[in-house]
Every structure is written in structure tokens, then in C-alpha cells.
Structure 1
Amino acid sequence: MPTIVLKIDVDTYRGTREGVPNLVRLLKHHHAGATFLFSLGKDHTGWALRRAFRPGFFQKVSRTSVVEHYGVKTLMYGVFLPAPDIGKDCVEEMRAVRRAGFECGIHTWDHVVWQDNVRKRGESWTQQQMQQAYSRFQEIFGTVPKTHGAAGWQMNEHAFSQLASFGMKYASDGRAMLNDNGSLANPAAGPYRLQIDGKVSSCIQMPTTLPTLDELLGREIDGTVINESNIAANILKLTAEPRNHVFTLHAELEGQKLAPIFDQLLRGWQEQGYQCISMADYYTSLQDQALPEHPLSWAELPGRSGELVALHA
């Protein structure tokens, strides 16, 4: 049976408080597995306004209604309002996810700080950021985290090394390359072992193989503008041919205003014969497989500004 690995990025305080419980209820209703990846430090979403000077930023904001999805209050955190400490203020919401039977892992310590800085920072800074998240996860859940999914698909070589030092066996920190219509540029793209400076990481990478909702909304594909009424059908076209996929969703989007779209996707994938599973379940199925090795590489993807960790092969 083909699988859809559901990887849920939780970026903000609001997403943790409101979006996460909504997603738990929706996933339980569909008997679907998933992995929740939490931001564990302060919510400095307001600092992201500095990205206004990046190419493509305003185009993405206008397409995806950032204010509508994230809320004005969230966009003021760290600028006009104090930044709430997600890992302290949302402990119960996070623990409830584990109690509901879902895998939990690390997204980041501070989403905006990581996404905007990690690629140009060194080993000491990187280790400090990751250790803070690792320690906070242990405080909340009483166990060590087993997996990681990078904020904004941003990493550096020190971060990948740190995953191995933590003993993590699998993570989802990058993307597979996509064509303009969201289809895979390389249909064979999938899990692999990362090669950096001639060394092969012990941590398997599970790249996201499908476009995210915010990458598709508002874009014109094959002469049709993608909107909330047709986006689910568009993604289901991409999964019509059975194969394993990793789909990244966000607590701030699919867990709130775009929940009806995610509901359509879950129903559609079930009708297509897919089983929705966690990263842990996917890892179990990969342990006896000889996976390809690929070097660390970067690329831009349709519908998203800036370069991301991306599997070119």
C-alpha cells in the first residue's frame, strides 16, 4: 500500500494553541498517522517582516493571505508585543498530542531566528540553537526527541552533524525538486543518506515530495488559478499515480482556515488507496533498504522565495 507521510510543522504560539488540537481531531477522525514537529522557544514571528526585502516575498504574501492565516497579533510578536514562549506556555497542548498517539519531534528553537540565520552561522551558534530545542523537548515530554524537520527547510553542515550527534536516525529537512505544476522533477526522488565532505550521515533524510498549500494558492498552473476550491483536486492529481510521498502541512494553515482542504485531501488519499503515516512508521519500512547517497545542495522551488535544502538527483 502506498503511503503519505504527514509531517506537521508548528511554527507559532497560535498554531500550537489552536491549530494543533484541530489537527489532532481531524487526523483521529480519519484514522491517519502523522508527525508533529514543534517550535520550542519564543515566537518572534514579527521579526519575519525583515524578509520584505527578499525577492518574491511580497508576491508570496499577497498570494497566501498571511495576515488572514496567522493573525495580526502573531505578526506583532517580537515587534509591538512580547514574544510568547511556546515551550513554556503550550506544554499541555504538546503533551496532548503525544497522549493522542502521534509522534512528536523538533521543528526548531526559534523559527524566525533559525530560518533567517542558520545558513550563514557557524558550529557554535548552530549547536546552541539545537541544544536549546533538544533540552526543552526533554523537559516537556520526558524523553529524547527522535526526529527533526528544519524550519523553512534551512540547515547548514553543522546542523546535519548535530542530528547524528543527537542519535537521530531519520529527519525531514529538505525538499525534492518540483516542476512548475508541482509534480516531481525526478519521479524516483525519495529517502536518501546525506553526504557532506565525503562523510555519509547516519540520519536518513525524508524529503518533502509534494508542494505545500501556501506554495500553490494563488498561482496559475496549466491556465487555471489555484484557489481554495480547486487546490485539493490539484494535489490529488499529483498523487494519482501510486508512490510514497512526504507532505508538509502547517498548524497555522491546515489546522485553522484551510482545515476543510486538508479534510478533502485525507478523504481523497484514502480513496486513492493511500495510508497516511508518521515519519517513524516510514523509517521502519526503510530500515532494510539500501538508500542512495546525495551531497548537500540548495535550490529555489516554485511558489517559495529563497533557496532551500533540495535534493537535485
Structure 2
Amino acid sequence: MARIALKIDVDTLRGTREGVAALVSMLRQMQAHATFLFSLGPDHTGWAMRRVFRPGFLKKVSRTSVVEHYGIKTLLYGTLLPGPDIGRRAADEMRAVQAAGFEVGIHCWDHVYWQDNVRGRDRAWTDAQMQKAFDRFVEIFGAAPATHGAAGWQMNGHGLETIERWGMRYASDGRGDTPYHPIVAGRTLNHVQMPTTLPTLDELIGIDGVDAGNVDAALLARTDGCATDQIFTLHAELEGQKLAPVFRRLLEGWQRQGHQLVSMAEYYAALDLRALPARPFAWGEIPGRSGELMVQP
């Protein structure tokens, strides 16, 4: 069959401390590989409640039980409670992931601040946010990161150029169908964007009769007999906690289908770089998710 790269976004302090360890244990039991992408600065999850007036946001929140998955305390960070510094308070948990043999990379500095602002910001703002994350990653792991996956699939052209300056060979910052070289301001960049290709569990739950009891079957139906490589994004706050039984069933199903569960590094190593297309940076909508994201046109 095909490779399915598992990309794990870690958004919060709770996800880093609780969800990550659960995922590491499960993946090792299943002999599956994955890439963990960390939020490295303050946890301001509570700021996300300001999205309440955005089209589709309330509908998505009602479908995915945000309070149940994230917890009241996390949802107060940045509002009634100060936002804790994830990289300072959970560095040991992050290093333990690498020590367990998993690839690690950058998700962001401040998840909500990045996600809500990056589209309209200039190069100076973008570089400052990304450099904070880069420096903290080096502080924690003692080496430069190999990859990057933007928070909420929110990115801008300046950010893609920063990844290029860092010398990263691959990243997964948006959504799409196939790996490609991004084009920014008429220039084709050398690094490869490997977009998330499969829908996330929270994008499927609550639509067309899909719930936590059958969402794994809905996703497995999309990969059954599929010979095309895929990237699946999961979250430490969901699949590492309340949706852990669902994710285990999904892993077991993919293995029954014959798919190889790999990290982003392994996915990249298998690519024929000469055959990859070049595509311009673009925004677009994804079913089941509110607002626009970085997409592959």
C-alpha cells in the first residue's frame, strides 16, 4: 500500500504534559513512527474565544466539545489566568519524545497569536515570531530543528522564505494533495512543502452522521486500497487524550490495510524530488474547518 506520515501538532501545556506521553506510548506499542511539532512559547489558548464571531467557528466548537478536550483551565490561559510558558515548563517532556526515537520540530511560538495574526503581518513580525520558536527549540534540544508545521495551517510568504533561510529541506505548513515546491513572489523555493492530505478527526466528527464511535471507519474508508502516500495531522490534545481509543483503532486499521506509518523525515526521504511540481502560495477553505488556510492551488 502507501505511506501515511503522522504529523502531531502539540498546541498547549496540557497537551505537552499529558497527551504527548500517551501518544508516545501508543505509537511505540504499535511500532509506528511520527513527527511531533511543538508550541514552544506561551499558552494563550483562551484568546481563541475571540474567534466567536468568525463564520463557522461556533458550529465547529459545538461539534468537537472544546471544553471536554482542552479543559477549563487551558481555556482560561491568556484571559483569567496568565499564559504559561510551555517551553520552560515542559522541556523535559519534549526531550523525552526525542529520546524515545521520534522526530521533533517546530509548530510555533504562541499558537493562538500566530494563528490569528500571521495572514496580515509583515516580514519583521513573522521573522520575530519564528526566530523565538527556533531559538527556544535549540535551547531545549541542543540542535536546530529539521522541520516546521504552521499552527492552524496559517502561514504567509515571509514565513516560507524564513524556512528557506533556515535551510530546512521539508515542512508541512498547509493543506493539499501532493508534495510540492512553493512559489513566493515569483521565486520557486528549494524546500518541499508536504501538505496535510487527509481530513482531521475534528473535521469529520459531527458531519453526515459521523461521531467518535465511527470516525475511524469514515477515515479508513478513504485510505482503503489507496496507493497514494498521505499525511495525517493529529493533535496531542485530542488523539492523545479523549480520542486516544479512536486513534488506536485508526492505527490498527491502517496497519491492517497495509500502510506504513512513518515520520515526516521518512516521508521526505522517499520522495522523487525531481518530479515534484511547483505551486504558488495560496489561501483557501477546507470542509469542516472555519476560515481560510494555506492550501495547494
Give the 5 Å matches for 1:219-258: 219-220=207-208, 225-240=209-224, 241-258=226-243
Q: Which residue of 1 aligns with 2:82?
A: 82
- Structure 1 residues 144-223: aligned runs within 5 Å: 144-176=144-176, 189-220=177-208
Residue 117 of structure 1: aligned partner: 117
What displacement does 1:289 show?
3.9
Q: Which of 290, 294, 297 is equivalent to 1:309? A: 294
Letter aligned with residue 280 of structure 2: P
Q: Tell me the secondary structure at the aligned position of residue 112 of structure 1.
A: helix
Give the superposition deviation at 1:101: 0.2
Which residue identity does 1:120 align to in structure 2?
G
Partner in structure 1 of residue 257 of structure 2: 272
Deviation at 1:242, TM superposition (A): 2.5
Aligned residues: 296
Q: Secondary structure at the match of 1:8?
A: strand
Superposed CA offset, 1:18-39 (max 9, x none): 0000000000000000000000
Distance between the aligned counterparts of 2:272 and 2:191, measured in 1? 11
Give me the whole-angstrom Cα distance separating, in 2, the residues matched to 1:161 and 1:243.
28
Aligned to 1:63: 63
Counterparts of 1:124 and 1:296, CA distance in 2: 19
Identity %: 61
Counterpart in the other structure of 2:40: 40
Gapped regions of structure 1 (runs ≥ 5): 177-188
1:136 aligns to what?
A: 136
Cα distance in 1 for partners of 2:67, 2:16 equals: 17
The answer for the alignment partner of 2:52 in structure 1 is 52
CA distance in 2, matches of 1:270, 1:206: 22
Q: CA RMSD in A?
A: 0.8
What CA distance in whole angstroms lies between the structure 2 residues aligned with 1:232 and 1:289?
35
- What TM-score do you get using the length of structure 1 for normalisation? 0.93
Compared CA separation, residues 131 and 287, structure 1 to 2 (3 A): farther
Amino acid at match of 1:205: Q
- Give the whole-Å Cα distance in 2 for the aligned partners of 1:289 and 1:36: 27
Give a deviation string over 1:54-76, Cα, whole Å, max 9, x none. 00010000000000000000000
Amino acid at match of 2:25: R
Provide the C-alpha distance between the structure 2 equivalents of 1:32 and 1:39, rounded to a whole number of angstroms. Answer: 23
1:53 to partner: Cα distance: 1.0
| 1:245, distance to aligned residue in structure 2 (A) | 0.4
- Farther off after superposition, 71-80 or 236-245: 236-245
Of 289-298 and 225-234, deviating more is 289-298
Distance 1:305 1:148 in 2: 22
| Equivalent in the alignment of 2:104 | 104
Closer, same or farther: CA 35–62 of 1 in aligned 2, 3 Å: same
1:296 aligns with 2:296: no
List per-residue Cα deviations over 1:135-161 (Å, max 9, x = no partner). 000000000001000000001110000
2:191 counterpart SS class: strand
Report the TM-score when normalising by structure 2.
0.98
Aligned residue for 2:36, secondary structure, equals strand
Measure, in 1, the Cα distance between the counterparts of 2:255 and 2:249.
Answer: 10
1:126 to 2:126 alignment: yes
Which range moved further: 120-129 or 283-292? Answer: 283-292
Deviation of 1:50 after TM superposition, in Å, equals 0.5
Q: Deviations over 1:226-260 (max 9, x none)?
A: 00111000000000122210000000000000000
1:284 aligns with 2:269: yes
Q: Which moves more between the two structures, 5-14 or 193-202?
A: 193-202
> Which is worse superposed, 148-157 or 287-296?
287-296
Structure 1 residue 287: Cα displacement:
5.0
Match of 1:175, SS state, is: coil
